[in-house]
Amino acid sequence: MDYRVEELAARAGVSVDTIRFYQGRGLLPAPRRQGRVAFYDDAHLGRIRRIRELLDEGFTLALVKRLFEREPSGDARLAEALVHEQVGERSLSRARLAAEAGVPEALVAAAQAAGLVTPVSLDGEERFGEADVRMARSALSILEAGFPLQDLLGLAVRHAEEIQALCDRAIDLFDEHLRKPARRDDGGDGDLTARFRELLPEATRLVALHFQRTLVTRALQRLAASGEDEDLRAALAATESARLEVAWR
């Protein structure tokens, strides 16, 4: 079915200016022209509705355009996967992150300034992901337990500084043993991205479980050394019944 631009706008629930804006950004194919009249069809209508759905889910226009473009290859595909894993299905502004996590935006800003929260830059915009929301909620729960904010921030900053060096070494290993060999092999790019998506949750689970085991072991050692037998027995009972769940999208 053919539509003039005014008819398309009415069917899609947007303004004529919005349609022209989408065309200018390369999000909407050019219409069929008959003389001086432009005609759109159901494919244009479906595209506009899809754009609106993606924007409602938190995607930026730049990300929407990438989704509509052809599949990238090689390192571009891996980079796209990295951005997706950090941001997730939705990208959020700092204000939206604070609102969804239930924390003051000033606290998010402080964590960002300390290097604890690192947004992804998408076309000049700072965007946060679903993992940032979960981390902010976890931090809020810890603060509500009574930990002083300044002490907790100091500990987090120290952790962030030390973990960056370990992550750099892990990236070097991935680069040396997976990415570079895959680039030398024909058709290896798709397999490389698949391997990345497979290994990332396993590495995350490994680190989280090791941290939990080390934390519990060190705490039990301190209790045993202090001679506080009652607290030690309670801690042992708690650790035997506890199980860390590390979920990944």
Which residue do the tokens 């991205």 mark? Answer: 193
Per-residue pLDDT of the chain (249 residues; tens, 9 = 90+): 889 999 999 999 999 999 999 999 888 999 999 888 999 999 999 999 988 887 776 667 777 777 777 544 444 454 455 545 444 556 778 888 899 899 989 888 888 888 788 787 655 677 787 788 888 898 889 889 898 988 988 888 888 888 878 888 888 888 888 777 776 665 555 566 677 778 878 888 888 888 888 887 887 788 778 777 777 667 666 666 665 555 545
For domain 5-68, the question of CATH label 1.10.1660.10 is answered with yes
Over residues 34-59, the pLDDT tens digits come to 888 999 999 999 999 988 887 776 66
Kindly list the domain boundaries of the chain, sorted by start residue: 5-68, 75-241
Measured in whole angstroms, how far is the alpha carbon of residue 200 from the centre of its chain?
Answer: 13
b/e per residue, 100-128, with b = 16+ CB within 10 A?
A: bbebeeebbeebbeeebbebbebeeeebb
Q: Phi and psi (nearest 5°) for 126?
A: -85, 120
